[in-house]
Amino acid sequence: MSESHYSKRREEIMHRRRARALRITVITLVSAALLAAGYFIVKKVSAVSRGADPSYADVSAVSDAPLFTTAVPETTSAEPTTEADVTAPEISGAADIEIEEGESISYKNGISVTDDRDPAPSLEVDASSVDTSVPGTYTVTYTAADAAGNESSVTVTVTVKAREIGIENRDELDRLARRVVDECTSSDASDVERMYDVFWWVKCNMDFTGHSDKTSWINEGIRGFKEHNGDCFTYFAMLKAMLSVMGYETIDVTRVGGETRHYWMLVKYEGEWYHIDACPRSVDKDKYWYCFLRTDDEVINWSRDNDGYYDFDTSLYPATGTEKLNLGWRQNHPH
DSSP-H helix ranges across the chain: 3-49, 170-184, 191-204, 217-227, 232-245, 296-304, 329-332
Residues above pLDDT 90, as percent of the chain: 62
Single-letter amino acid code for the residue at 280: P
Q: CA–CA separation, 297 vs 310, rounded Å? A: 11
The residue ranking higher by pLDDT, 45 or 193, is: 193
Cα angle 281, 283, 284 (rounded to 5 degrees) comes to: 110
Q: What is the pLDDT of residue 283?
A: 53
Model pLDDT for residues 265-282, shown as the tens digit of each residue = 999 999 999 999 999 875
2: pLDDT strictly greater than 60: no
- Per-residue pLDDT averaged across 184-194, rounded? 92
CA atoms within 13 A on the CB side of 68: 0
Q: What is the pLDDT of residue 255?
A: 96
Q: What is the pLDDT of residue 3?
A: 57
Determine the 3-state secondary structure of 112 from DSSP: strand
244: pLDDT strictly greater than 70: yes
Q: What is the pLDDT of residue 118?
A: 94
Q: What is the pLDDT of residue 288?
A: 66
Q: Are 51 and 57 in contact (CB under 8 A)?
A: no
Q: What is the pLDDT of residue 38?
A: 61
Model pLDDT for residues 87-103, shown as the tens digit of each residue = 999 999 999 999 988 89
Determine the 3-state secondary structure of 74 from DSSP: coil
Q: What is the pLDDT of residue 16?
A: 75
Q: Are 268 and 248 in contact (CB under 8 A)?
A: yes
Band the pLDDT of 83: cuts 50, 70, 90: confident
8-17, 256-265, 294-303: segment of lowest average pLDDT? 8-17
42: pLDDT strictly greater than 60: no
Rg (CA), the chain: 51
Cα angle 21, 27, 30 (rounded to 5 degrees) comes to: 140
Q: What is the pLDDT of residue 14?
A: 75
CA atoms within 13 A on the CB side of 291: 27
54: pLDDT strictly greater than 60: no
Q: What is the pLDDT of residue 68?
A: 46
Band the pLDDT of 24: cuts 50, 70, 90: confident
